[in-house]
Amino acid sequence: MKKALVKISVIIIIIIWMGVIFYFSHQNGRTSTKMSNTITHWIAKEFVPDFSLKSKTEQTKILKNISYIVRKLAHYFEFAVLGLMNLVLAKQFLRKDVWIYPSAIFMSILYAMADEFHQAFVKGRTPMIQDVVIDSLGAITMILLAGSIINLYRAFKKRKTI
């Protein structure tokens, strides 16, 4: 009973997170840009020395560069979280370690592709292979990092019992 509840809970959490990703992807180009610009302006004001003293042309160039990084990091991190959740899900349903990591990676990449496909139907948004790659790298990085931590913990625990 407890294992079934854990499995159901993990599935619900993943569906909610996929909904969050879908929500951000479903925003039209103007809304999405406005959201990133808010973060971008804050970063520029806080971390670029004398930003307010720079010319409008320099400020625009700086903001454009920061905006690009902010938008791509958002892709990376939202899929890193999804990758970790997919790893937890795969561990709940699969018994052979050999299938756990590829399954979590596959599920994450599949959703990254679906997310970009979805953007083809959103006004002002464009699906990009580059974003699928960034999303996938975020998921793969987190899955491999979590797997490494799990394996180190197991090795440490096994060593302590000897």
Decide: residue 158, CB within 10 A, 0-12 exposed, 13-18 middle, 19+ buried.
Answer: exposed
pLDDT of 43 over the 70 cut: yes
- Residue 27 DSSP SS3: coil
pLDDT of 161 over the 70 cut: no
pLDDT of 15 over the 90 cut: yes
pTM of the predicted structure, to 2 decimals: 0.87
Query: ∠ CA 86-84-140 to the nearest 5 degrees?
Result: 90
The whole-number average pLDDT for the span 114-121 is 94
Percent of the chain at pLDDT above 70? 99
Question: In this structure, how many other beta carbons lie within 10 angstroms of the beta carbon of residue 78?
Answer: 21
pLDDT digits (tens, 9 = 90+) for 62-95: 999 999 999 999 999 999 999 999 999 999 999 8
DSSP assigned state of 49: T
> For the chain, how many helices (H) and strands (E)?
5, 0
